[in-house]
């Protein structure tokens, strides 16, 4: 009593499948306004809590510390500091990239928040934690209300 | 919503707002592909479908003829003993009528999904397939049906090599 085995791997079939798991994500009240400011005015906005003084970037509609509604929106400028970073040599599918991509967590100056984005116009070896960077926007006609309307952050000279 | 709650708080985004681009959106299609190895029994089953035949496995201990075929008898806990062909005719074991297509869209002409107990196999042994050439209101449990095959050239070694089952 033995199990039948296939010795020729070509005899074994495979069944390919593709799960259709498309999604559409809407940005919400704060996200909508935040990305429209980037798209139309090239401005990075933050939401300031009048009660505790925290400046949220990206902005929210409620303060998560004191639950106060955030009504004051401020232009926080486009400069920030590298909080931490990583260098990717492969893409999402594992294919080798011609040029490495530098991903960084950036603290936006004079705020309590930050953005995850790419760094550009710099060698990966020269990136330092704490270095000053600023946002480089796409030309206005090419902006579509996405985080990619900021092309990357480059070192401040 | 209930008798007390007529509308929810907050700002509602309607699907028309998304379609017309009134609100910003992020669209994504995850690349969720997979490959399922069909194993010894199912590989042979699919290969035989391409030849227009339905194959089953047998167990000498319980005497069952099992379709779809498997390499292990789940009642006797032993490997199956042999292969045998079963007929492409059978009996409707159970069925369901769907007015919704695979993508959840509403359809006028319903899809009749049925479990067909195949002739030549043991009782309760059969395959899940669709039925056609019949008004859905006339489908009955226990009715005799026969497979309608694709032309030989169009068969690919898939369960869809049988187009559907029609009443005998």
| Tens of pLDDT, residues A48-63 | 999 999 999 999 999 9
In DSSP terms, A137 is beta-bridged to: A150
* A5 Cβ contact partners less than 8 Å away, ≥ 6 residues apart: B40
CATH topology of domain A26-155: OB fold (Dihydrolipoamide Acetyltransferase, E2P) (2.40.50)
Cis peptide preceding A149, ω within 30 of 0: no
Q: What is the pLDDT of residues B115-163, one digit of tens each?
A: 999 999 999 899 999 999 999 999 999 999 999 999 999 999 999 999 9
Task: State the pLDDT at residue A140.
Answer: 94
Interface residues from chain B to A (CB-CB < 8 Å): 11, 13, 18, 23-40, 42-43, 46-47, 71-72, 78-79, 157
Q: What is the pLDDT of residues A130-141, one digit of tens each?
A: 999 999 999 999
Q: With 80 as the cut, is the pLDDT of residue B10 above it?
A: no
d(CA B112, CA B99): 9
Interface residues from chain A to B (CB-CB < 8 Å): 1-6, 11-27, 29, 31-32, 35-36, 39, 93, 145-146
> Which residues in chain B touch residue A5, judged by CB atoms under 8 angstroms apart?
40
CA of A52 vs chain B CAs: smallest distance (Å): 25
> Which residues in chain B touch residue A3, judged by CB atoms under 8 angstroms apart?
40, 71-72, 79
Q: With 90 as the cut, is the pLDDT of residue A7 above it?
A: no
Look at A14 and B37 and tell me if their CB atoms are within 8 Å.
yes
| Residue A149 vs residues A32, A85, A105: alpha-carbon distances, Å | 14, 20, 17
Domain residue ranges of chain B, discontinuous segments joined by +: 39-167
To probe the interface with B, which of A2, A6, A7, A13 has the most B CB atoms within 10 Å?
A13
Q: With 80 as the cut, is the pLDDT of residue A5 above it?
A: no
ipTM exceeding cut-off 0.90 for this assembly: no
d(CA A150, CA A153): 8
Q: With 90 as the cut, is the pLDDT of residue A13 above it?
A: no
> Looking at chain B, how many residues does it have?
168
* Average pLDDT for chain A: 92
């Amino acid at each position: 009593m033995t199990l039948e085995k296939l010795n020729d791997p070509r005899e074994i079939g495979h069944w390919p499948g593709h799960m259709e798991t498309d999604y559409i994500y809407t940005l919400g009240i704060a996200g909508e306004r935040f990305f429209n400011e980037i798209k139309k005015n090239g401005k990075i906005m933050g939401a300031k809590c009048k009660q505790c003084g925290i400046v949220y970037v990206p902005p929210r509609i409620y303060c998560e510390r004191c639950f106060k509604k955030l009504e004051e929106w401020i232009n926080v400028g486009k400069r920030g500091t590298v909080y931490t970073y990583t260098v990717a040599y492969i893409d999402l599918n594992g294919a080798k990239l011609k040029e490495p991509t530098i991903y960084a967590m950036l603290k936006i100056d004079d705020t309590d928040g930050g953005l995850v984005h790419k760094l550009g116009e710099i060698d990966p070896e020269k990136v330092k934690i704490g270095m000053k960077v600023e946002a480089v926007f796409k030309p206005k006609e090419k902006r579509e209300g996405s985080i990619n309307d900021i092309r990357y952050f480059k070192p401040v000279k | 919503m209930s008798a007390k709650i007529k509308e929810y708080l907050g700002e509602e985004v309607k699907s028309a707002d998304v379609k017309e681009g009134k609100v910003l959106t992020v669209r994504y299609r995850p690349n969720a592909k997979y490959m399922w190895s069909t194993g010894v029994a199912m590989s042979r089953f699919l290969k035989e479908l391409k030849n227009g035949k339905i194959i089953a496995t047998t167990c000498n201990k319980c005497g069952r003829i099992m379709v779809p075929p498997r390499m292990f008898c789940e009642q006797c806990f032993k490997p199956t003993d042999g292969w045998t062909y079963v007929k492409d005719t059978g009996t409707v074991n159970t069925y369901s009528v769907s007015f919704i297509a695979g993508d959840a869209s509403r359809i006028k002409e319903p899809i009749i999904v049925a479990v067909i107990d195949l002739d030549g196999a043991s009782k309760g042994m059969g395959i899940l397939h669709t039925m056609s050439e019949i008004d859905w209101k006339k489908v009955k449990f226990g009715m005799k049906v026969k497979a309608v095959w694709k032309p030989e050239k169009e068969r690919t070694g898939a369960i869809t090599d049988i187009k559907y089952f029609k009443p005998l």
